[in-house]
Each structure stands twice: as C-alpha cells, then as structure tokens.
Amino acid sequence: MPVVAISTARLRSLLGTEIEGKALAEAIDFLGCDLEELVEVHLFECPACGTIVYRLPREAAPKTCEVCGHEEAGGFIDQGTDEVVRLDLLPARPDLFDSAGLARALVGYLGIRTGLPPYPVEDGELSVTVDPSVLAVRPEIACAELTVPPLDQAGLAEAFHLQEHLHWAVGRGRKKASIGAYDLEAIEGEITYTALAPDHEFVPLGMPGRMMSLADILTKHPKGRVFKDLLAGYDAYPVLQDARGQVLSMPPIINSEETRLRPGTSHIFLDVTGHDRRVVDDTLALVLTSICHVTGSIKSVKIHRPGETRVTPDLTPFTRTLSPERTTKLIGVDLTEEEMTSCLSRMRLDVTGRAANGDFEVAIPRYRVDVKHEVDLIEDVAIAYGYHNLPSLLVPTMTVGQELPQTAIGRKARRTLVGLGFVEVMSFVLTNREEHLTRMRLPEDVRQAKLLNPISVHQEIVRTNLLSGLMSIFALNKTREMPQPIFEVGEVVRATEDDSTQHLRLAIGEMGPRSDYARIRSVTDSVFRELGLTIDVSPLTDHELAPVFLPGRAAVIGLNGETAGVMGEVAPEVITAWSLDHPVVVAELDADVVLANLI
Amino acid sequence: MGTALSPHEYAVMNALAGEDLETAFDDLLQATGLDQSLVSAALTALAGNGWAAVTEETLTEVVPTEAGKQAAVTGTPERQLLLVLDLDQEIFMPDVHKVAAEKGFDGSAAVQWIFRKKWAKKVKDENGGADKLVLTPEGQNALVKSHSPDEVAIARASRGEILHLEELVEDGIDVPALVKVLRSRKDLVKLRNRVRRRASLTEMGREIVVGGITVAEEVTALTPELLASGRWRKVTFKKFDVTLDTERLVPGRAHPLARIVQETREAFYSMGFGEVRSDFIESGFWDFDALFQPQDHPAREMQDTFYLERPGRLPLPEDEGLVDRVRRTHEDGGDTGSTGWGYRWSIDKARQAILRTHCTATSIRALAEDPNPPRKVFTIGKVFRRETVSYKHLPEFMQIDGIIIDEGATLATLKGTLTEYYKKLGFDRIKFKPSFFPYTEPSAEIYVWMESRGQWVEMGGSGIFRPEVTEPLGCKVPVLAWGLGLERLAMFRFGASHLKELYDGDLGWLREVPLCR
C-alpha cells in the first residue's frame, strides 16, 4: 500500500492549534489511520520543477523527480528537515489521503471545529458536451470549476500525490476513474468530450514542444506505456478539447502540456472520467472537498450528454438513519443520545432530525464514500468514543469448547513421538517438481495442485505427501549430529481439474548410521499401539509411494483392510539425489484412515 | 560376619591392632607397605568412624650445613678461638683475624660468639696500645668442662642421625633457648618444623577388631548381580568426580510454532470455543465474495493472491439462493439496507480457485453452515500471500481466526475476548485501535506490547461482520470476527531472530531452543 508523509507543521497550521507531534500522531492512530511512524525527514527540492520530496534519515538523496521526471546526477537541493507522520493509505478511507483531508477529520475529533463541513457550489457558466463517439470507450464524465489562492510548489505536489492515490484506491489504476486538472486560463470556449482517431496530435505533458499522435503516446510516452491496456481494442481514443481544438487531455492517459497547472495557477478546471457514474462522481467529490477544504470556491459545470443534461459536482450531504439502540448494542457501552450526537459531530456528521421510529437522521458529507450502511455510522460513534476507552468484557453466554478429532489425533501422535525422542519439524506446503517428484522418483503427475501464478520456481505446486519435506530437512542438517529422529504433522492436497481434497498426514523419519527398517517399524508400531490400534503389515508392492523405498525393505500399514500408510528404508537413489550419505527411514501415515478406525 | 573394610583401611586397622600404644606414622607405612597418601586417607576414614585416634606433634629437626658439619669435627669458630686463648691466655684484637686465617676459622663469628658465650672479654691497654682479648672464668670452665648446648646439637646432627631438638630435653637442655640460639646460627644449621603423627585404635576400634574385620572390594558400577546377591553390602563404591560434564541429551520436542498453536487452541477451548477447519484451497466465493470484498478489490489481484491452474475452479455452494443473495448484496446491497458496491458481479470470479488469503474463509463457512446463536468457533490454519520467502515475509503462514455469534456480542466483548487470549499466552498489554476492513464494521487492529523490543507489534485485524456479510447467510445477530498471526508470537516467545527461522528446519535451533519458557 502506498505510504504518505504529512508534515506535522502543515497539520498544525491547518488545525490552527499548537499540538505536539506525539499527541497529533496518537490522535491520527485513534482515528483509525494506519500510522507507520512519527519521524524527522530530510527535504529535497527538485532543481527543475521545485517539487519538494522527503527522504527518511536512512535513505539516500533523490536523483529523479517523481513529478517532472527531471534527473539530477548530483542529487536534489537539501532543504533541511521536517517532522512528518507516515501513514499507510487505507483504500476504504480515500478522504484521509492528504493533509487537508486528515486535518478535516482531526479538527472534529479533537473538538476544535465539529459538525458538517460546508462545501457550497455556485452555478457556473462552463459546459461540457459529450460526443456519442466516446460513449463506447469511456462514457462517464464529471467536471467542476474552482478558484483557489495561487498554487505554490507544495500545493502542486500535494495535489499531484492526492490524484495518484485516488487513482490507486478509487480509480483502481485509472480504470474506474481518472482525474484531470487544468489551468482554466489556457482553455477557451465550449469543452467537448469526444473520441478521436489515433493519428490526432497534441503536445502531451512532460514533452514540451513535441507533437505526438494519440497512437504514439500509447507506445512512446512513459504514461502511455503504463496505461495503454486501458484503451486496448478501441480505434478511437477519448479526448477533452476546447472550442479551438486545443486538447486538454487524453483520458485516462495524459494531460496536455499547454493546459498544465503551474505555480501561480488559481483558476482550475477539473474532470473525472470513467465507466461508472457513481465512482466518477465520488472521485470528483473527494478531490474537490480536499483541495477546497481550506480556501477556494467551487462552480458547477453543465454536462450535455446525448439525451441528458446533468450538473456536476453535487456536493450535497447524503442522509442515513442511525438507531441509538443498535449503536449502544453494537458498541457495548451505554451512551446517552447527547453523547452520541456529540460523537457524530466530532466525526463531522450532523444529526438533522429524528425519524418516526426515533432513529437519528444523520447528514453525511459527500466525501465519506465509505459509508454504505448504518454500521459505518456506528463505527464512527465508536471511534469518537475511543476504542481505548472501551471496557474489556466477555460474552456472557455459556458455550462449550470442543477439540476437532483431527487436532486430537495430531496431538496424541505428537505426544508419543516426542516421548520417543523425535523432534517436530514444520515445512511449507508449497514445493516444486524437482524436490517433490524428481528426487523422490515419483511420476510427473500425481494429481498435485498447481499454481497459476507462482512467484518462485521453488514454490509451484502443493505437496501431495510429507516425505520430500522430511528429506529437505535432512539435506539441510546433513552435518548435524546423528541420528536425526524427526516428524511432521501436516496437510497434503489432491486435486482434479475442478475440485481438490485436503488430507492430514503424519510423517516420521530418521537419518543415521543405524536407521533401518526395524527402527521405523518399531516407532510406527508404538504410535499405533498408543492409539490402541493393531496394524497388519504387508510387503510394499503396488503403492504410489513405492518408488521412494528400497524394494523388499518397505511395508504397507493396514488397518482393518484399509491402507493407513507406508514405512520403510528410503531407496539409495533417493538418498543420493538429496546428496545425503546416511541411511534414511521414513513412514507416512494417513490420519483420516486412522481416525476412521478409532471411532 | 565381621566388618568389611576397604583394603587400605583393613591394612591400617591390622597394623594398629598389633600395638598397644600409639604407632608412629612412619611405622605404619612400614607395617602396611602402603604409600603415604593411602595410609592418610585410610586413617582419616577410620577416625571418621571413630575407630582410630590420631595425635599430632610438631618437632624441630636440625639440619647441619656444610660449615656445620665442618664445625662438628674442628669445633665451632668460638671454640677454636678459645683453644688459642687457652695457649696464650690473651691475644691482641687486631691479631684475631690473622690467627683465624692461619687456623682456618671464621674470625668474626668467633669473636661474636665468644663474647655472647662470655668465654672472653675485651681489655683496654692502659698504655694506649691495642685492645686485648682475655680469657674469662667461664672460658676456663668451658675448656675443662663440657660443650655448650648448640655445640652438642650441631655435633649430634652431623652424625647422620635425624635430630629433633625436643629429644635434647632428656639431656637437661633448655630447648626453647637453644632454638633461639640456633636460629641465629644459620651459617651452621637450618631448623625445620616436622609434624609427627601417631595413631592408635580407640576402644570402639578395638571392639571392631575383636569382632573380626575382613577386606571388602571396591567397585565402579552397581550391577544387577550386586543387588541380587546382596554383595553390594560388602563392596565399596568408587567415588565419582560429580563435577565433570556428561553426555548432552536432546529430548524429543514439539516445534516452537506447534507449541504456540496448541496453547492458542487451549486458550480458546477454555473460553468455550469449538474448533472448525476447512481446506486451504478455496474458492474466491468463500475467501472474498461472501465477505463482501468487491471483485475488483486490490487484494484479489493476481499480484497479491495465488491462483490455481489445477484445480482452476471450485464448486459453489449448492444453495443457489445463498449465491444469489451474495451477488445482490455486492451489486446493490440486496436486502441488507446497504448501497452495495454498484457493479456487475461475476459468478466465474467467484468460482476461481485460490490459496486462501485468510482463515476468515473458514469462519465464514462455519457461519453459513450454522448461523444460529449462541456459537463460538475458531480455526487455526495456513494462509497464503503472494510473496517470496524472505526474512520479513513468508508466502504461507498460520492464522488463528474466530467468530462469536451472539445476541450480546459487542465491540467491548471483542476487545475483552482478544485481551483474554493474549493474557493466556503471557502477553499482558494489548492495544485495540480502529481500522478499516471491507467485511467488518466497526473494525479494529490488535497490537501486542513486546517488552523485549520495546514496541507495539501488530498481530492482526478484527471487527464485527458487516450486515452485508451476515445477512445473506441468514444470520441476524452481531458476529465478532478476527484473524491473527501466530508466527510473530512464536518468534518473540522463543527468540527466533526472524520469521523464516521458524520454517528453516535447522535442527541445531530446533534441538536447542528452550521450549518451556
């Protein structure tokens, strides 16, 4: 998950209060953010665009700007230190991705400014016409016009990061929503959202003076190469352009150089495009309420669609009901209605009235896109109350603890084997063909489950028995003191094309100069004897694991006519395939069969 | 029957029994033919039994030097000077050294001792000539009568016998005064202190001898034969050096992680939880969809989750109504009062086979099977994340997942249940803080204070299942749920340096790590 660093000084200025870094970090933690650390960082400035980036004390100075792509071999300009809180971003709370969003929540939580934050939207003059050609490619668009104090480098960088993080969390890699922001002064007249042929040209962001065709942008521009899959299969690509034909952007890939935001820009046009209107509108609301949280004014834009005209953005709070009884019941603390109202207010929610059944009617700011259900509001009450203030209670209802038979058999076998001096090992269930099959002389297909997307060649299949795991332990310990009596209780899997079954197995093994059939037979016998079971032992001939063993020195363990496992001396071919130089004996028991015979 | 003694004790007892009085140690050595240390040890043992008494006496042995042996023949320097005076009656002091050199004795010693013994005196010449040495009456007496005690001692010691000064008491010599004199005649004799031991049988010892004594043999091992025959009563057992190290033993032992797993099980059994299990090859339906995790959620991407080629897909639950309720909840909230996620739910994605990403898949299966309160179940099993093996990350690890289905289930009882669990495992300080998960609301993360690291360590997530999760399964009461890691607990408890060490299978570590702490 992406991590953001937010300056505590910036938060203090947004909160308008002097609060120590530690107290601030604690409030952020109690608010539910995934706080990594409160730390002093080094600030560096990109010599080309002036973007400030930070580095942890343990990190080297940056050499490439993440905003403008500028490379500086000598490193960036050192701008001193700053205290920051580092947060792992939570996709569920995109309203807490930047300093403005965080301050908005903190100011309420700390009781400085509570209740619904206002986001007035004035009627604007701008309109966007949606051409039918774009409907098949990327049909939805929402826009807004805003005026903010002239942007500085810090503001630009923060807007850039917020945009990237929203693309990740809400836009799902720009697929569901992608955001564009432009200098409105560079735009003239009516804006059109349309789809144009691949040979249409404009100067993309980051390539000043270089006209590129839409097709070239997809194959040559760095952003084009990353996001080209989103437009694969179309013969025309989405474009926003003004009355002169000046391209604003090619959603969801890249904006134009001409309309880019610059230091000093204060009049901004915003658009969000995508496939799903709800996601597009949510994203626009998130951007606007963050950028304009402190200062700035928002104007609406008319969107003329084929057969429909709508006005965006709609930042009206939405309403949900909240039952005080259910709130108390779910949190487990008796709260008065006043306390609940105050908690909601500190989470920047307003109780606007009461429903006929007594439930609160709660107004929720538009940016709280995570609120889907009453329980989301109950959680807000709990957070405002403070999880650290909750009592630690137990459910008063009596229930009876119960061990699973599989667990019991594992526990009993473990007790016997530990008593016999065996050391328990645990290995991974993921393994590979070389170790699990080839070295064990097993055929290529023993119905093993196979990964579709393995991350390493060492872990490509799921084990079908525990024996190769024991061998790998012996291989790892070949220089350790002999003998090495070990065992493992573990699960193995058998798969078909459209189903799989999992089985509990017990594997016993010993490597040592005197490890022979008699030894493994004695140990296996005692495991069964302790379980009160009598086994029939017959020579191993026709069994899937037969190739592992030395012929004539291995046996099948029978329980009332069922095969409950195998035991014997490991074939020298297998021992040497593992580069071992001592005799090895093993047994593998099928816990399911043992269990069936116990009952 | 008599008394059985070790061979050495037997020999010493026998030797002592032959004497009525005390026996000198040296005589015992001769009588027994044993060396000094063995006789000493036997005497100590016998005295410990009260059978023998040992007395000790300190004697002063006189050992003549070469000059002493010479003096024994020629006389001490002062005696030689006395003989010169016997002839001349007097001698000028300056001439003493000349004479001494002629006769070959030590002039200085001669003058010193002749004055000390008062055999001569110095007389000043009235005419201013040199001082004279003049014989005294004591000197005359010494010439006629006898030798002084020191001369006697030197002479006898030089005869080749061992002379203890204390023996001279018999000759009427004042021994302490003599010791003082000889101490200042180091050129002639040296004095050495000797302890002389004497041993004798006590009354009890004599009775033992009268009762009969026999030799018992000494053995190294107590054998079944010794026990059966009763011969152990007669033998003596060789004493061992109990301080020496012995062979290092390795007990059979459970795996450290298995131990934490078992303690966790017992903690939950004791709180009234039943155990459940399900396969770790799981369908997207149970791992994600039933938990209201949207099908385009980042956690479902191929980058983070292991998908399977075989089996490529798994059967969905037979209850088609259930599948449909889950679909509708995702799309528009269905009957749950939720807005849902607002997208087209795909049944093919729900069928995809994966390696489960959490054991909540097992919890949710258990909930679907029986959603009726009150119910408490837990599961411990393997879960998978698409990571390579490293010191910090493992592609597969263990999780303890549990649910409480209960009318009285609250956020406060969730906090209490988890606090209780960690207490049972010996971790007293926990932090319960808000968080966000797609399938619980409210949600909380649990941190445990690790004293050894001086920091809070995240253990996992918990919460109350969203109605979007419980209602499609037919559950109408709150369900508490959690999924917590176990490896880190094992790591901190048993001092593993990193996660991977738990699965390395290094018998060096597995055999040595103290498990009972």
Per-residue pLDDT of A117-161, as tens digits, reads: 999 999 999 999 999 999 999 999 999 999 999 988 778 888 888
Instruction: Look up residue B511 and give its amino acid.
Output: R
Which residues 293-332 on chain A approach chain B with CB closer than 8 angstroms?
329-332
C-alpha to C-alpha distance for A472 and A430, rounded to whole angstroms: 13
Mean pLDDT across the stretch A64-72? 74
Helices B93-103 and B107-116, axial angle in degrees (round to 10): 120
Q: Which residue among B271, B395, B511 sits closest to A455, beta carbon to beta carbon?
A: B395
C-alpha to C-alpha distance for B289 and B291, rounded to whole angstroms: 5
The Cα of B241 is separated from the nearest Cα of chain A by a number of Å equal to 27
Whether omega for the bond prior to residue A208 falls within 30 degrees of 0, making it cis, is no
Beta-ladder partners of A238? A195
C-alpha to C-alpha distance for B338 and B465, rounded to whole angstroms: 13
Q: Provide the pLDDT for residue B197.
A: 87
By C-alpha distance, which of A273, A277, A282, A275 is closest to A308? A277
Residue B165: which residues within 8 A CB-CB, separation 6 or more?
B59, B60, B61, B62, B153, B175, B178, B179, B182, B191
Contact flag A379-B442 (C-beta cutoff 8 Å): yes
Tokens at residue A399, please? Answer: 């229930």
Topology adopted by domain B3-57+196-223+231-237: Arc Repressor Mutant, subunit A (1.10.10)
Chain B CB within 8 Å of residue A278 CB: yes
Provide the 3-class DSSP secondary structure of residue A489: strand
The Cα of A398 is separated from the nearest Cα of chain B by a number of Å equal to 7
Does residue A222 carry a pLDDT above 60?
yes
Q: Is A380 exposed, middle or buried (0-12, 13-18, 19+ CB in 10 A)?
A: buried
Task: Give the position of tokens 């593992």.
Answer: A578
Q: What is the pLDDT of residues B161-219, one digit of tens each?
A: 788 888 888 877 888 888 888 888 888 888 888 888 889 899 988 888 888 888 877 78
DSSP strand E in A200-326: where?
Answer: 201-202, 212-213, 237-241, 247-250, 254-255, 267-274, 297-305, 308-312, 318-322
Q: What is the pLDDT of residues A320-348, one digit of tens each?
A: 999 999 999 999 999 999 999 999 999 99
Chain A CB within 8 Å of residue B299 CB: no
Question: Which residues on chain B are in Cβ contact (under 8 Å) with A370?
Answer: 436
Does residue A111 carry a pLDDT above 70?
yes
User: With a cut of 0.85, is the ipTM above it?
Assistant: yes
Does residue A86 carry a pLDDT above 90?
yes
Tokens at residue B358, please? Answer: 């959490």
The CATH code that applies to domain B64-185 is 1.10.10
Q: Provide the pLDDT for residue B3.
A: 81
Chain B CB within 8 Å of residue A498 CB: yes
Query: How would you write B187-254 as a 3-class SS string?
Result: CCEEEEEEEEEEEEECHHHHHHHHHCEEECCEECCCCHHHHHHCHHHCCEECCCCCCCCCCCCCCCEC
C-alpha to C-alpha distance for A240 and A194, rounded to whole angstroms: 6
Task: Select from 3.30.930.10, 3.40.50.150, 3.40.50.720, 3.50.50.100 the CATH code of B256-279+356-512.
Answer: 3.30.930.10
Judge contact between A151 and A267, C-beta under 8 A. no
Does residue A294 carry a pLDDT above 70?
no
CA B69 to chain centre: 59
Which residues 355-384 on chain B approach chain A with CB closer than 8 angstroms?
355, 373-376, 382, 384
Which residues 367-396 on chain A approach chain B with CB closer than 8 angstroms?
370, 372-376, 378-379, 382-383, 387-388, 390-396
Domain locations in chain B as residue ranges: 3-57+196-223+231-237, 64-185, 256-279+356-512
- Top residue of A96, A278, A343, A392 to mutate, by most chain B CBs within 10 Å, is A392
Domain locations in chain A as residue ranges: 3-91+101-109, 121-204+212-312, 318-385, 405-598
Q: Provide the pLDDT for residue A474.
A: 97
Q: What is the pLDDT of residues B62-97, one digit of tens each?
A: 888 888 888 888 888 888 888 888 877 788 888 888
Does residue B481 carry a pLDDT above 90?
yes
The Cα of A495 is separated from the nearest Cα of chain B by a number of Å equal to 6
Q: What is the pLDDT of residues A389-446, one digit of tens each?
A: 999 999 999 999 999 999 999 999 999 999 999 999 999 999 999 999 999 999 987 7
Q: Provide the pLDDT for residue A535.
A: 95
Check for a shared fold between B3-57+196-223+231-237 and B64-185.
yes
C-alpha to C-alpha distance for A490 and A497, rounded to whole angstroms: 23
Helices B77-88 and B137-144, axial angle in degrees (round to 10): 110
Q: What is the pLDDT of residues A8-57, one digit of tens each?
A: 999 999 999 899 999 999 999 999 999 988 999 888 888 777 777 788 88
CATH architecture, range A318-385: 2-Layer Sandwich (3.30)
Does residue B435 carry a pLDDT above 90?
yes
C-alpha to C-alpha distance for A333 and A350, rounded to whole angstroms: 21
Which residues 459-488 on chain A approach chain B with CB closer than 8 angstroms?
459, 462, 472-473, 476-477, 480, 484-486
C-alpha to C-alpha distance for A309 and A322, rounded to whole angstroms: 34
Question: Which residues on chain A are in Cβ contact (under 8 Å) with B506?
Answer: 476-477
Q: What is the pLDDT of residues B335-393, one digit of tens each?
A: 998 889 888 999 999 999 999 999 999 999 999 999 999 999 999 999 999 988 887 78
A100, A102, A105, A106 alpha-carbon torsion, rounded to 10°: -110
Which residues 114-153 on chain A approach chain B with CB closer than 8 angstroms?
none
Q: Which residue among A375, A427, A480 sits closest to B507, beta carbon to beta carbon?
A: A480
Which residues 161-180 on chain A approach chain B with CB closer than 8 angstroms?
172, 175-176
Q: Provide the pLDDT for residue B189.
A: 87
Question: Which residues on chain A are in Cβ contact (under 8 Å) with B511?
Answer: 423
Among A197-211, A303-317, A390-404, B156-170, whose mean pLDDT is lowest? B156-170
By C-alpha distance, which of A494, A495, A497, A515 is closest to A505? A494
Question: Which region holds residue B449: left if phi is over 0, alpha if psi is between -120 and 50, else beta?
Answer: beta
Q: What is the pLDDT of residues A509-521, one digit of tens each?
A: 999 999 999 999 9
Strand B3-5, strand B213-215: pairing: parallel
CATH superfamily for domain A121-204+212-312:
Phenylalanyl-trna Synthetase, Chain B, domain 3 (3.50.40.10)
Contact flag A451-B308 (C-beta cutoff 8 Å): yes
Confidence of residue B1 (pLDDT cuts 50, 70, 90): low
Whether omega for the bond prior to residue B442 falls within 30 degrees of 0, making it cis, is yes
Q: What is the pLDDT of residues A229-277, one digit of tens each?
A: 999 999 999 999 999 999 999 999 999 999 999 889 999 999 999 999 9
**Sign of the torsion formed by the C-alpha atoms of A67, A69, A70 and A72:** positive
CATH class of the structural domain A405-598: alpha beta
Q: What is the pLDDT of residues A359-384, one digit of tens each?
A: 999 999 999 999 989 999 999 999 99
Helices A8-15 and A21-30, axial angle in degrees (round to 10): 80
Question: Which residues on chain B are in Cβ contact (under 8 Å) with A398?
Answer: 272
Longest dimension (CA), chain A: 93
Q: How far is CA A145 from CA A315, A365, A366, B205, in A?
A: 13, 20, 17, 121
Chain A CB within 8 Å of residue B395 CB: yes
Q: Which residue among A34, A329, A428 sits closest to B435, beta carbon to beta carbon?
A: A34
